[in-house]
Amino acid sequence: MAQTDLYKLLGVSSKATTEEIKLAYRKKAKQFHPDRQSSLDANDKASVAAHEAIVEINAAYEVLGDPERRKSYDNQGKWGGQYSRSGAAPYQSYADYARASGASPKPKEPGPSQSSSRRSRGRAADVALEDWMRQIYNPVSRYLNAAVKPLASQIRELSADPFDDELMDAFVAYLEDCRTAQEKADAKFKSMPNPPMAAGPASKLYYAINHLGDGIDELERFTTSYEESYIHSGKEMFRRTKQFRKEAQESLKRMGR
Whole-angstrom distance, CA of residue 221 vs CA of residue 210: 17
Which residues of the chain are under the pLDDT cut of 70? 1-3, 33-48, 50-51, 77-122, 257
The DSSP line for 136-186 is IIHHHHHHHHHHHTTHHHHHHHHTT-TT-HHHHHHHHHHHHHHHHHHHHHH
The amino acid occupying position 247 is E
Whole-angstrom distance, CA of residue 51 vs CA of residue 108: 26
Residue 116 CA, chain-centre distance (Å), reads: 34
The amino acid occupying position 63 is V
Nearest to 60 by CA among 39, 41, 82, 40: 82
- pTM of the entire predicted model: 0.55
Instruction: Decide: 245 and 144 in contact? Cβ < 8 Å.
Output: yes
Domains and CATH numbers, the chain: 6-90 (1.10.287.110), 117-254 (1.20.120)
Tell me, what's the pLDDT at 236? Answer: 96
DSSP 12: -
Tell me, what's the pLDDT at 27? Answer: 82
